[in-house]
Amino acid sequence: MTEPEAPTAGVAMTAIGVAVIRARESIRSDRLYDDPLARHFADAARRSFGATPEGEQRWARLEALADTFFEGRSVGVRLVDDRMVAAVAAGCRQIVILGAGLDTRAFRLTLPADVRFFEIDLPELFAFKEPVLAAAGVAPKHDRRVIAGDLRRNWTEPLRANGFRADVPTYWVDEGSLGYLSRGDALRVAESLTELSAPGSQFGAGRFHVDRNLPHYTELGRLVGGEHHGEGRDLSGLGPDAESWLTARGWRTSFRSWDDLVAALGRPAAIGDPEVGLVLAVRE
């Protein structure tokens, strides 16, 4: 079998770093979640980077960045797990993961049998992900639909063509993908998902202040080839007005600070900024 090629440059490569983080979390005795498939992705990606000095160096840089982002990003995975379980308990039966990356929740979470997952991401990401899953010999616990596409383009028609129903409450998952988009593109995604959201649908919008001049963000930009956190680019996602924007479009919103969200998890992930956190929106 031909070894799948992992994305070794560009924004899609950040999914590999997150898989490395999830693999490390999963072997801890105090782990916040267990994601055995993350190791399959990390090992396959490591082989894709190659055994050349350049490949070795690039992989070492990726692992160093994973160490830098580990606590916050790993806690973030658990928070989305918990929100997903809560959204399903509240009646959501469709889960749409925007910029799904190497997400494995359709395989590792046990939810009601009628829950359907939709994963949206770039074609090159799924060209790596699906062969790794096939080689691992695993099957999802839930109905899982893959939509290879770009959130900056028309993604709603392929979503509908894959069985999405606008009359069924949906939990929309964004683990940072909108932050890679310009403000205009991110707002267009939010407009589209608003139009597709039945009453009771849920969406979590992060409110973060990122100093893109910090060394780890600068290194992240260099590693992905200048596509992320680039100088002069408006990579701000929905921006600071996300809560009022959603409220004006028929969402009921509430805000919880990041420190409040992570307090019960027992990890050193607090940041001391009460303005940073999550806007949780419920469609009315």
**How far apart are alpha carbons 14 and 69 in whole angstroms?**
11
Q: How do strand 277-283 and strand 94-98 relate by DSSP bridges?
A: unpaired
The answer as to whether 48 is a domain residue is no
- Distance, CA of 49 to CA of 127 (rounded, Å): 16
The residue written with tokens 């403000």 in the block is 183
What's the whole-model pTM score? 0.92
For residues 160 and 94, give the distance between their C-alpha atoms in angstroms, rounded to a whole number.
12
Round the CA-based radius of gyration of the chain to a whole number and report it: 18
DSSP, residue by residue, 122-180 = -HHHHHHHHHHHHHHT---SSEEEEEE--TTS--HHHHHHTT--TTS-EEEEESSGGGG
Q: How far is CA 151 from the centre of its chain?
A: 13
- Nearest alpha-carbon partner for 207 in 120, 273, 263: 273
- Domain CATH code at residue 133: 3.40.50.150
Does a structural domain hold residue 243? yes
CA distance 230 to 233: 6
The tens place of each residue's pLDDT in the chain, 284 residues long, gives 578 888 877 777 889 999 999 999 999 999 999 999 999 999 999 999 887 898 898 899 899 989 999 999 999 999 999 999 999 999 999 999 999 999 999 999 999 999 999 999 999 999 999 999 999 999 999 999 999 999 999 999 999 999 999 999 999 999 989 988 889 999 999 999 999 999 999 999 988 766 556 665 666 666 666 444 443 344 568 988 899 999 999 999 999 999 999 999 999 999 999 999 999 999 99
13 is a domain residue: no
**Residue 36 belongs to a domain:** no
Find the domain containing 230 and state its range. 76-283
In a domain? residue 8: no
CA 50, chain centre distance (Å): 26
With respect to residue 29, please indicate whether it lies within any of the assigned structural domains: no
- Residue 157 placed within a domain: yes
Per the domain annotation, does 82 fall within a domain?
yes
Question: How many residues in total does the chain contain?
Answer: 284
Tally of structural domains, the chain? 1
SS3 state at 54:
helix
State the Cα torsion 178-180-181-183 to the nearest 10°.
Answer: 80
